[in-house]
Structure 1
Amino acid sequence: MARKSQILGAAALDKVLGQLPRRIEEQTVLKALRAGASPIVKDAKKRVPVRSGKLKKAITVRKGSRRRTAKGGGQLVIGFKPPVSRRAHLTEFGTSKQPAQAFMRPAIESQGQAAIDAIGKRLGGDIEKAAEALAGPYAKSGLGKSRRRRR
């Protein structure tokens, strides 16, 4: 025999869950991605060949274009500030007159797992905080309680 149950405050719970994805996309995911990019950027700055120091200073993390994402989700790009950005690939991959001095690929390969761990750790904590913040007004008033006054 199947049991029926009724969730009191389901509308409030639905409202909380409906707000969570937008909040995660806009704030939480980008913060987590930035935390994941940090070990890669640090390692790339250690590995980059230094002649004038401009290439090392130009390594940066910036927010990606929304047009390039599948559903408008968060995207960060590890790259270079202009005008160095037009020459960085020549150092990484080399030319016919200059051998390759890879620094980005080895940084990604060596710090990839650390980046994934940092993203997971930051994302998990921030999702919980966002859920608590969204549920805050409802949790204080009692999500499971009816808000109607009885006569």
Structure 2
Amino acid sequence: MARQTVRVEGLRELDRALGELPKRTGKAVLRRVLKKASEPLAAEMEAGAPVAAGELKESVAASTKLSARQKRIQKRATAREDKATAEFYVGAGALPQAHLQEFGTKDQPPQPFARPAWDRNKMGILRSIKTLLASEIKKAAERIRKKG
């Protein structure tokens, strides 16, 4: 598969504005933005999940949390402590068969649902993050200003 380059302008300014907010507020802003921006992806993944895999369909979610098994598997990137950072996950829940549906096995052909949903939604999600982040930063700054 060919590599794609994605360019999103204006994030440096938003990152700077986010850094001016208190750390706790910045994390809350990021979580709200990521939740709103990822909802369409989760809905499309759920809609595209194989019907025969009913519990897989029901397990698709967007969340800041991983199951214990997913935490063990995931490679943690080290986040800088001086910045407000947030991690958000969209995908199948703690089902060991989810990746088998997506990629297939020697006895079962692949039934991808996650990657096609991402491919169709990625640019919209990135634009949504930019737009929502600008809006949420302004709202948070206004709330802080009003408090004193």
Cross-structure match for 1:55: 56
Shift in CA distance, 40/136, structure 1 to aligned 2, threshold 3 Å: same
In the other structure, the counterpart of 1:98 is: 108
Counterpart of 1:71, as a letter, is: R
What is the TM-score of this pair, normalised by structure 1?
0.70
C-alpha deviations, 1:5-61, integer Å up to 9, x for none? Answer: xxxxxxxxxxxx976141443210011111121111111112111115111001112
Q: Secondary structure at the match of 1:78?
A: strand
Bigger shift: residues 113-122 or 94-103: 113-122
SS of the residue 2:21 aligns to: helix
Tell me the equivalent position of 2:117. Answer: 107
Cα distance between partner residues in 1 of 2:120 and 2:141: 33
Structure 1 equivalent of residue 80 of structure 2: 71
* Unpaired runs of at least 5, structure 2: 1-17, 67-75
The answer to whether the 8 Å contact 1:34/1:76 transfers is: yes
Match of 1:41 in 2: 42
Cα distance per residue 1:62-111 (max 9 Å; x no partner): 2157x6442251000112223xx211000000000001111100000001
Give the deviation of 1:117 after TM superposition.
Answer: 2.1
Q: Cα–Cα, structure 1 residues 68 and 25, in superposed 2: closer, same or farther, change >3 Å?
A: farther
Q: What does residue 4 of structure 1 align with? A: none
> Which structure 2 residues correspond to residues 1-150 of structure 1 after superposition, within 5 A?
20-64=21-65, 68-72=77-81, 73-82=85-94, 85-138=95-148
Percent sequence identity is 31
Query: Structure 2 counterpart of 1:76, which letter?
Result: F
Q: Provide the rounded CA distance (Å) in 2 between the counterparts of 1:119 and 1:43.
A: 18
Q: Which runs of 5+ in 1 are unaligned?
A: 1-16, 139-151
How many positions carry a matched residue from both structures?
119
Do the aligned residues in 2 keep the contact of 1:35 with 1:115 (CA within 8 Å)?
A: no
TM-score between the two structures when normalised by the length of structure 2: 0.71
Tell me, in whole angstroms, the C-alpha distance in 2 between the residues paired with 1:49 and 1:64.
24
CA distance in 2, matches of 1:69, 1:119: 22
Question: Which residue identity does 1:35 align to in structure 2?
Answer: K
In the superposition, relative to structure 1, how do residues 64 and 21 fare at CA in structure 2: closer, same or farther (>3 Å)? Answer: farther
Instruction: Tell me which structure has the larger Cα radius of gyration.
Output: 1
